[in-house]
Amino acid sequence: MNHITLDSSLHWPPYEKVKKHLLVIQINLQRAKIATTMLLKAAQQHQPDLFLVQKPHVKDGKITGIPKCWKCWLSKSGKAGITALPTCSTPVVLSAKENTMAIKITKNSKAFTIISSHFSPYANFREILEELTDLTTNINGEEYLIGGDFNAHSQRWGYRDENSKGKQLQEFIAEKHIFLLNSSNSPPTFEHNNRQGWPDLTMVSSHSLAAICEQPFPSYLHRFNLRTHDNCSCGGKGDPMHYATKCRFTLSWHFQTPTVSLKLQWLKNILTNNLSRTRLRLLLRFICDENYLIVEDNN
């Protein structure tokens, strides 16, 4: 599940505009009831405006298990969908193609195109990339976000190997100057028994959007060249781990530092424990509200 926050003003820093943000959650349902339950829980907890959904369980052209008052659109294959919660005002359908579903929304009088896609392992990869090309060339330089299950392998988003789909997708990303939000050390988006995978990717049309979609940490700003270095103003390296365990500004919400080998378990424990989740939420709110404190760029 990927959380994406869009700020329609595209200005940095985001703390000025944080209440006007649009929250999008991307989730691969794997046609499973339990995943739909997770979606409903996430809706309650994070109150997003939109879900980008892949592989939903569909009955009579509708995603099963979601509230009737949510709007919902599906690609022709039924494997890529978007649902809009009542908080999302004026979503307009752009197109429903075989493997992609696209809508347009307006936030603070700025238009965004939101695309959900599903690349079946058996479909012609080129054809689906052409669907995406059509969609993104016809919107005249407006900002867009693509969330999809691409079934493509590359080290760039976490796999240990690269296949021909992975190569084609990277060429597409480079050609269109798209910004991929997943990084090579992103945790797997899919886990079952002992298998892991990174099929689910999120990409956006511009680097300012990319920086805003990421959490407001100096390490990300540096990665997208919006900042000359990635230090926190306390002097430490300003990555998420720093704020969760070390930074003196966030002392009240610190978690115990995990050992390297237990890091994944440590993350899971935090996400499954109510108290830890609350602390994490307070920590993130503090970082958003007091952003000037930690990302001050002295250069």
Q: Which residues bind Zn ion (CB under 5 A)?
A: 232, 234, 236, 247
Q: Which is nearer to Zn ion, 166 or 238 (CB)?
A: 238
Q: Which is nearer to Zn ion, 29 or 247 (CB)?
A: 247
Q: Measure the CA–CA gap between 288 and 66, rounded to whole angstroms.
A: 31
| DSSP H or E segment with residue 292 | helix 291-295
Least spacing, CB of residue 299 vs Zn ion, in Å: 17
Q: Which is nearer to Zn ion, 74 or 247 (CB)?
A: 247
Least spacing, CB of residue 211 vs Zn ion, in Å: 19
Least spacing, CB of residue 251 vs Zn ion, in Å: 10
Residue 231 DSSP label: B
Least spacing, CB of residue 129 vs Zn ion, in Å: 41
**Which residue type sits at 287?**
I
Distances (CA, A) of 281 to 73, 278, 284: 30, 5, 5
Q: Measure the CA–CA gap between 213 and 235, rounded to whole angstroms.
A: 24
Q: Which is nearer to Zn ion, 142 or 290 (CB)?
A: 290
**Which residue type sits at 75?**
S
Q: Which is nearer to Zn ion, 106 or 257 (CB)?
A: 257
Least spacing, CB of residue 5 vs Zn ion, in Å: 22
Q: Measure the CA–CA gap between 131 and 48, rounded to whole angstroms.
A: 27
Q: Which residues contact 261 (CB under 8 A, 6 or more apart)?
A: none
Least spacing, CB of residue 236 vs Zn ion, in Å: 5
**What's 47-96 look like in SS3?**
CCCEEEEECCCEECCEECCCCCCCEEEECCCCCEEEEECCCCCCCEEEEE
Q: Which is nearer to Zn ion, 115 or 247 (CB)?
A: 247
The structure tokens listed for 172 are 């597409």
